[in-house]
């Protein structure tokens, strides 16, 4: 099966084409619970794991950890985890994210009192200054260098789902008249400079993934034609893989429910692939082996992102490879795994999956 053919990305070779995209399941990164969760997926045969969206401030600011050497301790703690994942056969990356907050004083954006900002003033968010924009761009670069020190094999920029880089690119959100707004190329500048900053900080041989919000269903929103041009420019800036999703998910769910067709965002990946020469990852409710294989065989994408299905059954890749697909525990696409993020009552150790009661509880069970 093409699904299990190796692929090399900027010097990094994956054993197969199956990627576990980032999911915010409230498990953390460096604790025993997170370690056990990610290790189980690595042992299950996935080609690469992208750990959950992580604030760039956490990798730049000791105060975010409540101790004077917080970032260094994070780097040291993660080194053993990334090594264990790699020893289990999977490569491991981390998704870098910015959530429209600016630090209060010297604290990180997660500290109470952080100020809400955006490309342009809207509701309770004020417009970023150019100096602040440059600071954020540099934080993505320095955070990537720390991630590399922590043993990650690659980083991914979260430029989809309506977060800050996505807002800069979207004409519905970006009303700026300076060089970071205006025409298409002005709206691309913020993300292009983020990728350039990362490349400067990590060197030429470290893979950079970019999760691109390729389309929005709203007035003035991102179009697929714009995203094709954007991806072409991001590749020139140093991007090595495009993880193709949607922008602000108005009227759509970035994690499609069972009412959505299988492979619901594959058409977007296919469109991006036509304009770039680097690998493209398809996502969007790809639960069945035959669906994943057909996407690759038809040349619509080079990598397959399987997220919630790997929560339901971490051994999906191994079972498919060994011809035991009939033993797979199917994901219900119910999104119960995101309840922890949305619930104020959930606590560590509570179930996070409707069909796999061990998910997130591997360290206990």
Contact by Cβ (8 Å): 358, 41:
no
Provide the token pair at 345.
């009552």
User: Annotated catalytic sites, by residue?
Assistant: 163
- Displacement of CA 337 from its chain's centroid (Å): 16
Q: Which of 11, 3, 89, 4 is closest to 278 using CA atoms?
A: 11
Over its C-alpha atoms, the chain yields an Rg (Å, rounded) of 19
Place of tokens 């000791």: 62
Contact by Cβ (8 Å): 287, 309:
yes
Q: Which of 172, 178, 136 is closest to 157 using CA atoms?
A: 136
| Span between the terminal Cα atoms of the chain, in Å | 33
Can you name the residues that pair with 127 across neighbouring β-strands? 118
Cβ neighbourhood burial of 23 (10 Å; 0-12, 13-18, 19+) = buried
Provide the token pair at 111.
């500290």
Residues 81, 111: Cα–Cα separation, whole Å: 26
Sequence-ordered list of residues with C-beta below 8 angstroms from that of 111, at least 6 positions apart, any chain: 63, 64, 103, 104
């Amino acid at each position: 099966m093409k699904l299990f053919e190796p692929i090399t990305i900027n010097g990094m070779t994956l054993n197969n084409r199956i990627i576990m995209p980032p999911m915010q399941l409230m498990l953390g990164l460096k604790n025993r619970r997170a370690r056990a969760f990610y290790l189980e997926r690595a042992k299950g045969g996935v080609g690469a794991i992208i750990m959950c969206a992580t604030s760039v401030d956490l990798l730049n600011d000791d105060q975010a950890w409540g101790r004077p050497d917080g970032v260094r301790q994070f780097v040291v703690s993660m080194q053993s985890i990334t090594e264990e994942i790699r020893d289990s056969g999977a490569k491991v990356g981390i998704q870098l994210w910015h959530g429209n907050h600016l630090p209060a004083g010297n604290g990180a954006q997660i500290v109470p009192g952080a100020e809400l900002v955006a490309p342009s003033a809207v509701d309770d968010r004020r417009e970023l200054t150019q100096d602040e924009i440059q600071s954020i761009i540099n934080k993505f670069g320095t955070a990537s260098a720390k991630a590399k020190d922590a043993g990650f094999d690659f980083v991914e920029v979260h430029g989809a789902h309506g977060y800050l880089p996505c807002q800069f690119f979207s004409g519905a959100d970006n009303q700026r008249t300076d060089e970071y707004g205006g025409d298409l190329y002005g709206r691309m500048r913020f993300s292009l400079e983020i990728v350039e900053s990362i490349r400067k900080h990590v060197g030429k041989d470290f893979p950079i993934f970019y999760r691109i919000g390729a389309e929005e269903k709203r007035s003035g929103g991102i179009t697929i034609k714009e995203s094709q041009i954007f991806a072409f420019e991001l590749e020139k800036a140093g991007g090595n893989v495009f993880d193709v999703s949607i922008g602000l998910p108005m009227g759509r769910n970035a994690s499609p429910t069972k009412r959505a067709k299988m492979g619901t965002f594959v058409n977007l990946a296919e469109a991006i692939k036509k304009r770039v020469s680097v690998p493209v990852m398809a996502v969007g409710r790809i639960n069945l082996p035959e669906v994943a294989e057909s996407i690759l065989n038809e040349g619509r994408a080079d990598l397959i992102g399987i997220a919630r299905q790997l929560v339901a059954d971490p051994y999906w890749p191994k079972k498919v490879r060994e011809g035991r697909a009939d033993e797979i525990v199917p994901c219900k696409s119910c999104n119960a795994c995101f309840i922890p993020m949305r619930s104020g009552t959930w606590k560590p150790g509570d179930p996070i999956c409707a069909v796999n009661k061990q998910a997130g509880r591997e360290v206990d069970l």
